[in-house]
Structure 1
Amino acid sequence: MAHGEEREEGKRQSRVDALERLNAELGRIDAQLRALAAAKDRIQGLLEAVVEITREVELPSVLHRIVTTAMDLVGARYGALGVLDESGDQLAQFVAVGLDEQDRQALADVGLPRGRGVLGYLIHHPQPLRVDDISSHPASVGFPPGHPPMRAFLGVAISVRGDVYGDLYLSERRDGQPFDVGDENIVVALASAAGVAIENVRLLEQVRAGSEQFQRRLLPTLPDLRPFDAAAIYRPAAEPHHLGGDWYDAIPLPDGAVAVVIGDVVGHDLDAAAAMASTRHMLRALLFTLRTPPSAVLTQLDRTLEAITDNPVTTTSLARIEPDGAAWRLLWSSAGHVPPLLITPDGQTEYLFAEPGLPLNVDSGRPRPDHTHPLPPDATVVFFTDGLIEHPDHPIDETLSELADVATAHASLPLHDFVQALADHNPSDRHDDMALLALRTPSRSRTDPERHG
């Protein structure tokens, strides 16, 4: 009986042991599955992060996105990206994320890190660096007064075309644990993608700068228009590969009047830019040849373009500002262009809506009307292209009203500052290039002496 009980007890214990082993194995498998799921989620997060980073088209935004993405991927409380200077020996730029306003105030007098201590070690040894306690690293030199306490550290170099561009730094996991090899691997992968994103946006900046320089070379420098004050500005579209067809011009005429032109050739490519240049030069020649109202000049320009070019559709406004007793008169004709904006000496705004006429290169046989409006002393007229007001999410009536409000708010500024303010604070979404030219009539005290002096 005792032997039978012992056998039963042995079998029972064997079953218990087997069950425990099975539970342990199931636990191990469950842990592996959870680890695989976590790894899958992390990889998916990395892929999504890379897509978001590559969507950025401005370098500061790319750098900031790299830091925040790395922090999210490993759960870090603090993150930074240090950009090396030309020598490659110290930091020229430092993008820090995670510091609160109190931390920033405490470090306001310290300045950005230049690459000493552990940061300097990573600059000169661009292999991934992972330490549980920064202070224990041989290169550590401590933190400046006011710096938040940090222990765990993970640093990875970012290379662009084989050269170290900078270093990505992470500190303090939110769960209090040190960074592990999984964290290191995911940040190394992110740094590789970040190098490509940085290179892409730098190339885009070069293209943007080249396009903008080319466009600006096609635009005139405003001549001396005294007694009037004049200022103009051109802004390219946010898309770096776009060339624009927007232009402005102002010309003192032999009869004492001043001609003002604003125009926009349809398209965003080299053909549009070339068409803009040819149209502008033809119009200049006609203004010096013809002594006719603006409508007749535009009619002749339209016929000439139709006869000798295949230029695309173009909108433009041509105006004359001419003496009218003790003040001035605006005489203008529009070829499908947005109306000019008048700002009176007391800061009131008015759009000079009138029959716009057909754009150029549509039907040169259609008549074009002229329009007139008095201009008192110290009045400002703003001619602009639709890139200043177009926004896909807002109707044009709304954006015109917003532009008028901006003009009213800045009407007292010197004219150069005024056009800068309109270019900086307009209601458009910057998808199109923009040009604007503002002309201000002389004040009453300056009118007679300068006109007849």
Structure 2
Amino acid sequence: MFRKRPTDDGDELLARLGSLTAQARERAEQQRSQVELAIALQRGMLPRDLPSRPGLHLAVRYAPANQGLNVGGDWYDAFAMPDGKIGLTIGDVQGHNIEAAAFMGQVRAALRALASVTSEPGELLARTNDLLLTLGSDLFATCTFLRLDPVTGVLESARAGHIPFVWATADGKSGVVHDMGGPPLGIQPGMDYRVTRHRLSTGGVFVLLTDGVVEGPSLHVEDGLAQVVRLAGIAAVAGLKVHALAAAVIKGADHVGHDDDAAVLVVGHDGPNTPPPPAQPRVVRP
């Protein structure tokens, strides 16, 4: 009579390791698919073209996070409004997953849709806030919205929990805009957002950004903003193109100490479009 040969412990261990490896590979593929989908959502929802007006210069840079599932919901947008003004917005959705990327698209679409009803920045953020609350999401977003008159350079801004933006002028002055912001969008209904008025002078710039550019374990937000102020000041005095400034600012994301979304929107202006002086009559002597 033959006895059944006992299972070899080594073979059983190899079989278990093979099964665990296959499961890990499957989970990794699923995670990679989710990350790729989230990044596709992000890029698909960002504007393909920026508005063009005489004397107006816009430049953007965007670097999505893509380590593991650390995919956020930063966005920027620029579009022409029915009153002829230019709407400029930048923001950041709470969370780092595919839901955050999808919610980002909802916020951006809401801002664009409601801008056809009102272009006043404070009212626009208030309406967007109330609309987002009706969606029943647990997420919220920080945001800055600017309304720019491309003819006069007058700019009005309102903030919803977002980090302040930076300004610089061609005569060497620069700093951070210290305005009164309101709470993030999607937290509490009936919020008010105060509007601050600015003027974009000839050769001056405004730099809007998300916290992934200036804040992290290795970089305090005040230090990060100070770096952007320095860069903007140098660029304005030297007359650098807005694209060069945007590229320099986005490099700050390399020093924050973590992998996060990073977005930059730079606005430049050639000054008010004033009509040319009347031609002087030419005297023809005999």
Which TM-score bucket, shorter chain as reference?
0.7 to 0.9
The 2-side partners of 1:208 and 1:362 are apart by 27
Q: Deviations over 1:132-173 (max 9, x none)?
A: xxxxxxxxxxxxxxxxxxxxxxxxxxxxxxxxxxxxxxxxxx
Q: State how many pairs are aligned.
A: 245
Alignment of 1:4-23 (within 5 A): none
Aligned to 2:226: 401
Deviation at 1:407, TM superposition (A): 2.8
Deviation at 1:240, TM superposition (A): 4.5
Deviation at 1:403, TM superposition (A): 2.2
Change in 2 beyond 3 A, CA 1:347/1:214: farther
The 2-side partners of 1:321 and 1:336 are apart by 21
Aligned to 2:128: 301
Change in 2 beyond 3 A, CA 1:205/1:435: same
Alignment of 1:6-405 (within 5 A): 211-227=38-54, 228-237=56-65, 239-291=67-119, 293-322=120-149, 327-405=152-230
Alignment of 1:431-450 (within 5 A): 431-443=259-271, 447-448=273-274
The 2-side partners of 1:394 and 1:425 are apart by 9
Contact residue 153 and residue 271 of structure 2 kept, 8 A: no
Q: Deviations over 1:10-61 (max 9, x none)?
A: xxxxxxxxxxxxxxxxxxxxxxxxxxxxxxxxxxxxxxxxxxxxxxxxxxxx
Report which of the two has the higher share of helix.
1
Larger CA Rg, structure 1 vs 2: 1
The 2-side partners of 1:414 and 1:350 are apart by 19
Q: Counterpart amino acid of 2:112?
A: R
Q: Counterpart amino acid of 2:75?
A: W
Deviation at 1:418, TM superposition (A): 1.7
- Moved beyond 6 Å, runs of 4+: 203-210
Deviation at 1:207, TM superposition (A): 8.1
Change in 2 beyond 3 A, CA 1:449/1:439: farther
The 2-side partners of 1:233 and 1:385 are apart by 11
The alignment partner of 1:357 has SS state of: coil
TM value normalised by structure 1: 0.50
Change in 2 beyond 3 A, CA 1:419/1:208: farther
Contact residue 238 and residue 430 of structure 1 kept, 8 A: no
Q: Counterpart amino acid of 1:448?
A: T
Contact residue 35 and residue 71 of structure 2 kept, 8 A: no
Change in 2 beyond 3 A, CA 1:416/1:281: same
Q: Counterpart amino acid of 1:352?
A: V
The 1-side partners of 2:271 and 2:94 are apart by 38
Change in 2 beyond 3 A, CA 1:406/1:204: farther
Change in 2 beyond 3 A, CA 1:263/1:350: same
Contact residue 215 and residue 243 of structure 1 kept, 8 A: no
The 2-side partners of 1:385 and 1:247 are apart by 8
Contact residue 222 and residue 231 of structure 1 kept, 8 A: no
Change in 2 beyond 3 A, CA 1:215/1:240: farther
Contact residue 213 and residue 256 of structure 2 kept, 8 A: yes
Contact residue 305 and residue 311 of structure 1 kept, 8 A: no
The 2-side partners of 1:418 and 1:207 are apart by 33
Gaps of 5+ in 1: 1-200
Gaps of 5+ in 2: 1-27, 277-286
Q: Counterpart amino acid of 1:232?
A: V
TM value normalised by structure 2: 0.77
Contact residue 343 and residue 408 of structure 1 kept, 8 A: yes
Deviation at 1:352, TM superposition (A): 0.6
Structure with bigger RCO (C-alpha 8 Å, 6+ apart): 2
Deviation at 1:323, TM superposition (A): 5.9
The 2-side partners of 1:373 and 1:410 are apart by 19
Q: Deviations over 1:362-386 (max 9, x none)?
A: 1122322111122212211111111
